[in-house]
Structure 1
Amino acid sequence: MRPRAALAATDLGFAAFAERNRPRYTRYAQARLAQDTSVTRAVRATFVYAREGWHWLLGQPSLAADVWEELRYQVRVLSGAVAARDAEVRSLYDGLPENSADSVLLCHRLGLAVGEAAELMGLEISAVQAGLAVAHRALPHLALRGRI
């Protein structure tokens, strides 16, 4: 059994993580899912996963990457039943690897800086930059219109 102080610090760490990321996770899910109830479910399930596995996640190489992968999983599951609000967003995920599509969505559609998107996804900045470069090459029609 862990001492109370350690449990309180762990709870505080989770609370800070959730407070920092909930708005950004919600914006991401809103861009990918058509129904607000689906957005709420995806974000809630992601934080339940993170809370229940918090001690394990703290020992992983990238807590942010693991929780981001859970959010993407929740969105994928729900997006199979519900179309995206925006057909262009759907085409990003149909035409690109998931990291590239996420990079475009976060940086160009939601306005996050490359560094912030990398931190959110638990990636190196160079990985987000590479994802954006893949998108420019793979979907030049969107690049020409200024969408990526």
Structure 2
Amino acid sequence: MTVDYVAFRELNRPRYRRYARARTGDADAAERAVEGMLADLAVVWKEVLRSPSPAAAAWCLLGQNIEKCTRADTGSALHRVLRTELADTALLHLQLGVSLMDAADLMGVDVSVVRARLAVAEREFRPELAARYRMAWGGTVSRHMPG
């Protein structure tokens, strides 16, 4: 393993674990997903470094591994009602309280993309769904979401 891979892994592993735990609702599945993603990432690390956004490539691998480790009827309520990129953004920022800048950094996108995704998520997350899925935020809906 290269020093840059180890640094990337150690910087992001705790954040990936926190996100994966919230998305899967299962600590064991989250751990399998994160460790599987990091193993996959190590294999393609040289190619990832040549990509426009290594963080985006890693985020994509994380999503793929979470999908493998999560049953369709479990996990994040957000991911059952919103497109993945919208649900990811809402989960990070609204549920986990990750700043816009940190969410952008983690997903490998510009902060303007995070803002746009949150705006679209607000429009798509209908008030009746907000009431149904209030538990996604521990019983309350963020000021960013209708409900």
TM-score using structure 1 length: 0.83
Change over 3 Å in CA distance of 1:138–1:73 after alignment to 2: same
8 Å CA contact 1:42, 1:74 repeated in 2 = yes
1:28 aligned partner: 19
Partner AA of 2:141 in structure 1: G
Q: Corresponding residue for 2:103?
A: 117
Alpha-carbon shift at residue 30 of structure 1 (Å): 0.3
Find the residue that maps to 2:2 and give its secondary structure.
helix
Q: Does 1:58 align with 2:49?
A: yes
Deviation at 1:126, TM superposition (A): 1.0
- Tell me, what secondary structure is at the counterpart of 1:146? coil
| CA positional deviation for 1:117 | 0.3
Q: Residues 35 and 82 from structure 1, CA distance in 2 versus in 1: closer, same or farther, beyond 3 angstroms?
A: farther
Larger Rg: 1
CA shift, 1:82, in A, is 6.5
Matched, 1:72 2:63: yes
Runs ≥4 in structure 1, deviation > 4 angstroms? none
CA distance in 2 between counterparts of 1:98 and 1:83 reads 15
Contact 1:35 1:82 in 2 (8 A): no
Counterpart in 2 of 1:17? 8
Aligned residue pairs total: 134
Q: TM-score, normalised by structure 2?
A: 0.83
Q: What is the deviation of 1:36?
A: 2.0
Shift of residue 97 of structure 1? 1.5
Distance 2:45 2:5 in 1: 7
Structure 1 segments unaligned to the other structure (5+ residues): 1-9
* Aligned CA distance change for structure 1 residues 35 and 146 (closer, same or farther; 3 Å): closer
How has the CA–CA distance of structure 1 residues 46 and 82 changed in structure 2, closer, same or farther, with 3 Å as cutoff?
farther
